[in-house]
Amino acid sequence: MTWLRKAWDWIAHLWKNPDGYYGRPIKYAINQGPGHFVAVGFIPVAVFDFSILILLIGFGVWEVTQWHFRGADPYDCVEDWCFVAAGALSGLHWIMTLLIVPVALVFWANGVLLRIKERRDGL
């Protein structure tokens, strides 16, 4: 199997299995921080000069289809999109990075703490 086929299978798996990582704070932290904020939002805009508009519309379509066709939690879809948007906006200019990263870190920490609480409460 080629690397392109493996990449396609991995992306298809992500689309078919939406997960908010409720009760799993470490997985949530990795999913939102390095995953959505950095890999999907920041890197395409900052490193590859990808169009922020196309990125945000495309990822919005991804999340809406996960919600509509795969039964994803709408809150998780909005949260994922917001982390991608924050990462993409941070990639535009270093001043945007200075403004957005601290706010994103607060929301990221809130999500981690919520999942710790869910785990403790057995949800």
> For 32-65, how does the pLDDT look when each residue is reduced to its tens digit (9 = 90+)?
999 999 999 999 999 999 999 999 999 999 999 9
Residue 88 is predicted with a pLDDT of 97
* Cβ proximity of 56 and 86 under 8 Å: no
Dist. CA 104–CA 33, nearest whole Å: 9
* Cβ proximity of 79 and 32 under 8 Å: yes
Domain boundaries, the chain: 19-121
pTM exceeds 0.85 for this model: yes
Residue 13 is predicted with a pLDDT of 87
* Residue in this structure with the two tokens 């078919």, named with its chain if needed: 16
Mapped onto helix, strand or coil, the DSSP state of residue 109 is helix
Whether residue 123 has pLDDT greater than 70 = no
Whether residue 1 has pLDDT greater than 90 = no
* pLDDT confidence tier of residue 89, bands split at 50, 70 and 90: very high
Mapped onto helix, strand or coil, the DSSP state of residue 81 is helix
Residue 17 is predicted with a pLDDT of 86
Question: Which residue type sits at 62?
Answer: W
